[in-house]
Amino acid sequence: MQSGWEMPSQVDMDAWNTQLKDIGQQYQGLMQDLMARMAPSDAADSVHKDMRESFEAGAQALMQNPTLLWQTQARLLQDQWLLWQQNARAMAGENVDPLIKPAKGDRRFKDEAWTKEPQYLAIMQQYLLFAQLVQELIDNLDGLDETHKHHLQFYARQLVNAMAPTNFVATNPEVMRRTIETRGQNLVDGLALLREDLSNSAEGINVRMTDRSAFAVGENIAVTPGSVVYENELIQLIQYTPTTEQTFKTPLLVVPPWINKYYILDLRQDNSMVKWLVDQGHTVFLISWRNPGPAQRDVTWADYMQMGPISAIEAIEQACGEKSVNLLSYCVGGTLTASTVAYLTSTRRGRKVKSVTYMATLQDFRDPGDIGVFLNESVIEGIEKTLESKGYLDGRSMAYTFNLLKENDLFWSFYVNNYLKGEPPAAFDLLYWNTDGTNLPAGTHAWYLRHMYLENRLVEPGGIELDGVKIDLRKISVPSYYVSTKEDHIAKWNSTYYGALLPKGPVTFVLGGSGHIAGIVNPPHKNKYGYWTNSELPDNHEDWMAGAEANEGSWWPHWQSWMVDNGYVDQEKMVAVRQPGDGELPIIEAAPGRYVRQTIPEIINADEEATKTASANSSR
């Protein structure tokens, strides 16, 4: 008998048997839940087809290169032999250096057991050597076009990361310790959490990222004081309560994305961009988009423009008496804003916009990044079929897709913590926002994916037509400020930069540090990330970066100086502050309003109830 090993007591055996029964019951229930969800949508089918075709293309390319195939097999055998030798030495008590270490920033193998215990060291290295081999194999494949290679790299990365030993009970030392300590209760709790999350998912699994009970919109997030002063079928317009003694004469309209909700710009008081803008003396208005359902299936991009920024500008004139505004836009809200400014320019109303700012905004979609894997012709056709049948794209499907762009951080880490360790996630407001999704109406989303991502028509003169008007971004003379972020994986700056080369009016381009959210929502008092500036706009982004100057801190004060120094807001002509309700628009309700509180489950449940009622009425 092994030294130190003790026979478990009858009490321990009974406890383990009870837990195993609970685990079995939870697992059986999980299988039943999964069987009920086996039929994928047209969109999921099209992704699976693209995945199969990518691997088939890779296999064919490898068969046509026997030298690479032989080298790969030889490399695999060599790695296994070296690993066997190292493992034998480690088991004999010798201190050995690892053959391979996790990449910097890879937090999966942070537990000391991965380096201190020979069996786990061997498992980790076996996996890392395999992952490295797969990556190098695909990189060296000839005969594949760049699109196929990009897709193959993405899908292979997903599969390799899914196979990580950290994702399985028996090969994760932290999970094994936890299982022994709790006698398997972690697995019981984890399976229960998995079933709950599965029931709140559209396709795939929307893993729980935060304690959702810790937050409530309008109570401890999205709390900057203000009032809804205008609404239509698609938007509520919030006017924020001033905090300064005087305000700039020209109001500021914020156009956020409708993929996710606006309050990423107003999470809490210490990082709220909305509050900071109000504190600088701007009269701030913000569009809060409706969370659409089947009733909005026919809403188009042109409708988003007309009922969004254009209606908001008209409402602001009623509220303040000002005929022009400054626009501040973000992500897809910025793409819509560029369309709107071009439309106003072509209809001789360009003077309604005094300046326009684009934050992390794609106008030139030449390189959409990894999200482009899901946006080829066959996949978009599948998405279009799903949109046609339902009238909207379930926002939870979109969230699952975006999480796979950074799968280890945004999926597998939570998978292990929640379902294997059985630990509910901590409260985190940013991740609450990330899981508080929005649906996407069929009439808008299918058009957007095809015309922008697939065909890149916004950059073509007359390539986009809105309400009978062909628009051209090159005709825009409105002064423009573009800010992108260096590590953005959604709106990559090597694409957003080329949007800044389009307008004929004056343009300033700034590059922030960090990613799509942290690089934009970067309050000055935190003094984080920094940003780069360059007064020149060369023809390519590499030359811009080569001539750029690094600056410390947040880009927000730089933007404010740009607004003031160029006269888009005039510090010499401040006016009395405008309280919500002072103008011609009465207060409808307190901010943040009804629209931002609409959740996907509420909308879907209401749709299902309406369908049942209609079916019952028709059968009478």
- Tens of pLDDT, residues 473-494: 999 999 999 999 999 999 999 9
Average pLDDT score over residue span 370-390: 85
Euclidean distance between CA atoms 410 and 423, whole angstroms: 16
Residue 483 CB-half CA count within 13 A: 28
Closest to 131 measured CA to CA, from 99, 163, 173:
163
The number of CA neighbours under 13 Å toward the Cβ of 407 is: 18
Q: Determine the Cα–Cα distance for residues 82 and 75; give it in Å rounded to an integer.
A: 11
Q: How many CB atoms lie within 10 A of CB 146?
A: 7
Rg, Å, the chain Cα set = 27
Cβ within 8 Å of residue 273, ≥6 positions away? 265, 266, 520, 521, 523, 556
pLDDT value, residue 145: 83
φ, ψ of residue 57 to 5 degrees: the values are -65, -40
- CB count in 10 Å sphere of residue 584: 12
Q: Give pLDDT, residue 376.
A: 81
Sign of CA dihedral 56, 61, 64, 66: negative
pTM over 0.75: yes
DSSP run (H or E) holding 279: helix 273-279
pLDDT at 15 over 50: yes
d(CA 240, CA 203): 38
Burial of 526 (C-beta count, 10 Å sphere; 0-12/13-18/19+): exposed
Which whole number is the average pLDDT over 381-405? 85
Q: What is the pLDDT of residues 188-212, one digit of tens each?
A: 999 889 888 888 877 778 888 999 9
Confidence of residue 403 (pLDDT cuts 50, 70, 90): confident
- pLDDT band at residue 4, thresholds of 50, 70 and 90? very low
Highest mean pLDDT among 46-60, 382-396, 521-535: 521-535
pLDDT tens figures, 42-77: 777 787 888 888 889 888 888 888 888 888 888 888
Cβ neighbours around 90 below 10 Å, total: 17
Alpha-carbon span 464 to 448, nearest angstrom: 11
What would the pLDDT profile of 549-601 be if each residue is shown by its tens digit? Answer: 999 999 999 999 999 999 999 999 999 999 999 999 999 999 999 999 999 98
Question: pLDDT band at residue 2, thresholds of 50, 70 and 90?
Answer: very low
Of the candidates 508, 498, 511, 514, which has an alpha carbon nearest to the alpha carbon of residue 550?
Answer: 511
Tokens of 528: 């984080």
Q: Which residue has the higher pLDDT, 515 or 31?
A: 515
**pLDDT confidence band for 620 (50 / 70 / 90):** low
Q: From CA 109, how far away is CA 102, in angstroms rounded?
A: 7
**pLDDT score for 1:** 35
pLDDT band at 3 (very low <50, low <70, confident <90, very high): very low
Cβ atoms within 10 A of the Cβ of 72, count? 17
* DSSP secondary structure letters along 527-557: --S-EEE-S---SSHHHHHHT-EEE-S-SHH
How far apart are alpha carbons 360 and 483 in whole angstroms?
Answer: 6
CA–CA dist 493, 109 (Å, integer): 31
User: What residues have CB less than 8 Å from 523, skipping those under 6 apart?
Assistant: 270, 271, 272, 273, 276, 554, 556
> How many other C-beta atoms are found inside a 10 Å radius of the C-beta of residue 126?
18
What is the structure's pLDDT at 545?
Answer: 98
The beta strand positions in 170-272, using DSSP E, are 226-231, 235-240, 246-247, 252-255
Task: Return the residue matching tokens 């920024």.
Answer: 309
Question: In a 3-state reduction of DSSP, which class is residue 217?
Answer: strand
How far apart are alpha carbons 53 and 33 in whole angstroms?
Answer: 29
Residue 259: pLDDT over 50: yes
pLDDT in tens, 413-467: 999 999 999 999 999 999 999 999 999 999 999 999 999 999 999 999 999 999 9
Residue among 256, 320, 205 nearest 581 (CA) = 320
Sheet holding 226-231, edge to edge: 549-551, 531-533, 507-512, 480-485, 353-359, 325-330, 252-255, 284-289, 235-240, 226-231, 589-590
Higher pLDDT: 28 or 369? It is: 369
pLDDT at 531 over 80: yes
Listed residue (371, 374, 399) closest to 492, CA to CA: 371
Q: How confident is the model at residue 7 (pLDDT cuts 50, 70, 90)?
A: low
Alpha-carbon distances of 402 from 42, 205, 493, rounded to whole Å: 19, 12, 18
Query: What are the CA-CA distances from residue 449 to residues 202, 370, 381, 384 (Å)?
Result: 20, 14, 10, 9
Between residues 30 and 113, the one the model is more confident about: 113
Average pLDDT of the chain, as a whole number = 90
Within its chain, how far is the Cα of 152 from the centroid?
Answer: 22
Of 33-37, 89-93, 449-453, minimum mean pLDDT range: 33-37
Q: At what angle do helices 118-139 and 66-91 cross, to 10 degrees?
A: 170
What is each CA distance from 348 to 312, 319, 464, 476, in whole angstroms? Answer: 18, 23, 17, 11
Once rounded to an integer, what is the mean pLDDT over residues 511-537? Answer: 96
Q: What is the pLDDT of residue 578?
A: 97
* Residue 229 φ/ψ, nearest 5 degrees: -115, -5
- The one catalytic residue among 137, 253, 331, 379: 331
Mean pLDDT of 73-88: 86
H helices of 299-451, in order, are 301-305, 311-320, 332-346, 377-390, 395-403, 407, 413-415, 429-435, 442-448
pLDDT of residue 616: 62
Residue 79: the pLDDT is: 85
Token reading at 586: 């009465």
Decide if 505 contacts 345 (C-beta within 8 A).
no
User: What pLDDT is recorded for position 317?
Assistant: 97
Contacts with 527 (C-beta within 8 Å, 6 or more apart), sequence order: 552, 553, 554
**More reliable by pLDDT, 200 or 510:** 510
Tell me the C-alpha distance between 411 and 530, whole Å.
28
- Average the pLDDT over 215-226 and give the result: 96
Distance from the Cα of residue 28 to its chain's centroid: 33
* pLDDT confidence of residue 546: 97
Share of the chain above pLDDT 90, in %: 65
Average confidence (pLDDT) over 375-402: 85
**320 assigned to active site:** no
166 vs 4, which has greater pLDDT? Answer: 166
Q: Which residue is associated with the tokens 């709107």?
A: 340
